Amino acid sequence: MIWKQIIRFRWSLFPGTLFAAALLGLIGILLWQLADFSTEKTSWFSDLLDRDWQIVRFTTFQAGLSTLLSLAVGIVLAWCLHHQWAFPGRRILIALLSSALVIPTLVLVLGLVTVFGRNGWLNQITTSLFDFSFGSFLYGLAGILIAHVYFNGSFAARSLLNRFETIPHDKIKLCRSLGLSPWQRFYLIEWPAIRTTLPGLAVTIFLLCFTSFAIVLILGGSPRYNTLEVTIFEALKLDFDIPRALDLAVLQLTICAALVMLASGFRSITQNIATQGSYSQWPEPRGIGNVQKGLIFLFGLVFLLPLGAIILDGLQADYGKILSEPSFKRAFATTIAIASASSLLTVVVGLLIAGAKRNFTLGTRMNSGLFAKFFERSLSFSAMLYLAVPSLVLGLGFFLLARQMPGPLNLWAVVALISANLFMALPFALTILSPAMEKTGLRYDKLSFSLGLGPFTRWRYAEWPLLRSDIGYVCALSFCISMGDLGVISLFGSQDFTTLPWYLYQMMGSYRTHDAAGVALIMLALTLFVFLGFPRLFSGSNEVKHADT
């Protein structure tokens, strides 16, 4: 019976399953490279923890503290935005919160330095008014926490706001009729709505902070604040100490894999992507309402200041000089080409895996028994590999593989970048596309089966009209994620092969401040244009769907 079902749904089952198997196989090859090299030339864990315990401890500490602060900011900001639905600029702020995770990390770091650096706006204001300076507090743990909370606090706020907006109006009306205070309402109605999301959200943010690279590389300030990712980079790129880099990579892989297994039992934090929630009409007391408005203004100001700094500094750059440099032209062309290829590949793979996955989740197909559950989880796991295997570890595996393969190193660098970008964007793509594919199945399966529609006819008339806006969003999201990544290119980057993030990092390292500001503004403008504007080409309307990510 099961074989008849497999043959019946072969056109939606086999392509996605083959791609999932290919992803698992690629990861297996890269991990085999790490393990093979490690077995021959490293001392494994014999003295690793004694030698690098400080690095592991700081990596865990900063990730844990960043997670707690990000969740606190996210809960407070989401609560305020949910109840102040008429706040001026609310929709713009929510759109920017949605785009926080795709803003290139180096661009944000440059903006934070302009605002909070030693000669930044904050120190200039406090010095002129109070003859007091905060100094170089940005370089160290404080700067790492600020940058992490900026990214992940925004991510948490957007994710939790969606959970707030799914609270049924009947519950709100009941609490209103009982005359409950805002704190009683939060405890009885709102907290239960968000608490099931918090464990998965916390693990996701912890992993993002644990594997943070560019932020720690720039704002760490000293080896005292190095994380595992930065230490791997320094061991390989600066010291060419491959055994040490491998020891650290395997340790990081072990920790991340354990956390992903832990998170697999939690509720998905992105189940409500691209939904339009309802606003709370609960009349807030004047005191609470003023506090909420004040917090929204404060968080909005802190969020917008680094972006404003990038714009102001970037406007002073000599774009004639920047645009005429051959190195910038090469970096720009390489970035656009790789990001476009990565975006297209992410959409194709995401659609195929989501299409295969729904065969084991819909009652009209093969949703029965341990067989269906096993394959559904296997397909999901293949798309979530990036959370367990960070990009720098992937890059290290590709680096070792490229040394043994024929062909120029730059060719393998392109393969490594596109593959890493695919792994980074695929978790978000599957989270967006999988529910949408399941909805199309629930709506059209019976009709399509009764009419005997082929896969291409069904796609053209039934699925494409419903999926086009989600596909546009995935294209934009994966393009921006690919364009801003610094992890893999930091291992393969050279004078002959570079991308915009690596080019910007080199300019910052050579103290070309004005030119760096110009490149940062170009990257920021391109990111926001693609992320906020590109989905409109697919939606066919004036409304852009924003996601939790």
Model confidence band, residue 365 (pLDDT cutoffs 50, 70, 90): low
| Single-letter code of the amino acid located at 270 | T
Euclidean distance between CA atoms 521 and 530, whole angstroms: 14
Angle at 217 between CA 300 and CA 23, to 5 degrees: 90
Q: What is the pLDDT of residue 267?
A: 46
Compute the residue count for the chain.
Answer: 549
Model confidence band, residue 277 (pLDDT cutoffs 50, 70, 90): very low
Torsion from C-alpha of 523, 526, 527, 531, nearest 10 degrees: 180
Which of 9-13, 20-24, 152-156, 494-498 is predicted with the least confidence, judged by mean pLDDT?
9-13
Helical pair 286-315 and 141-164, crossing angle rounded to 10 deg: 130
Which residues, 6+ apart, have CB-to-CB distance to 534 below 8 Å? 472, 475, 476, 479
Helices (H) and strands (E) in the chain, counts: 26, 0
Per-residue HEC secondary structure of 399-419 comes to HHHHCCCCCCHHHHHHHHHHH
Q: Regarding the domain with residue range 57-314, which homologous superfamily does it belong to in the CATH classification? A: MetI-like (1.10.3720.10)
Q: What is the pLDDT of residue 1?
A: 52
The whole-number average pLDDT for the span 196-214 is: 85
Cβ density class 248-271: b for 16+ within 10 Å, e for less: bbbbbbebbeebbeebeebebbbb
φ/ψ of residue 138, rounded to 5: -70, -25
Model confidence band, residue 276 (pLDDT cutoffs 50, 70, 90): very low
Euclidean distance between CA atoms 539 and 544, whole angstroms: 7
Q: What is the pLDDT of residue 549?
A: 39
Q: What is the pLDDT of residue 14?
A: 72
Model confidence band, residue 50 (pLDDT cutoffs 50, 70, 90): low
Whether 1-41+316-549 shares its CATH topology with 57-314 is answered yes
What are the residue boundaries of the structural domains of the chain, listed by start? 1-41+316-549, 57-314
Instruction: For residue 346, give both structure tokens.
Output: 């992410």
Which residues, 6+ apart, have CB-to-CB distance to 259 below 8 Å? 203, 206, 207, 210, 387, 388
Task: Quick: pLDDT tens for 52-91.
Answer: 778 888 999 999 999 999 999 999 999 998 888 888 888 8
Q: What is the pLDDT of residue 544?
A: 39
Q: Higher pLDDT residue, 8 or 137?
A: 137
Euclidean distance between CA atoms 285 and 491, whole angstroms: 55
Euclidean distance between CA atoms 386 and 381, whole angstroms: 10
CATH code of the domain occupying 1-41+316-549: 1.10.3720.10
Instruction: For residue 298, give both structure tokens.
Output: 């404060």
- Minimal CA–CA distance to 111: which of 123, 121, 126, 101? 121
Instruction: For residue 492, give both structure tokens.
Output: 């393969």
Q: What is the pLDDT of residue 72?
A: 95
Task: Quick: pLDDT tens for 284-327.
Answer: 778 888 998 999 999 999 889 999 999 998 998 888 888 999 99
Model confidence band, residue 270 (pLDDT cutoffs 50, 70, 90): very low
Contacts of 501-510 with CB under 8 Å at 24 or more apart are 501/104, 501/105, 501/106, 501/214, 501/335, 502/331, 503/327, 503/328, 503/331, 504/104, 504/106, 504/107, 504/110, 505/106, 505/214, 508/106, 508/110, 508/218
**Are the beta carbons of 24 and 377 closer than 8 angstroms?**
no
Judged by DSSP in three states, 540 sits in coil
- Average pLDDT in the chain: 80
Task: Quick: pLDDT tens for 391-415.
Answer: 777 777 887 787 777 777 778 888 8
Euclidean distance between CA atoms 163 and 272, whole angstroms: 8
Q: Higher pLDDT residue, 208 or 279?
A: 208
Task: Quick: pLDDT tens for 494-538.
Answer: 777 889 999 998 888 777 888 888 999 999 999 989 888 887 777
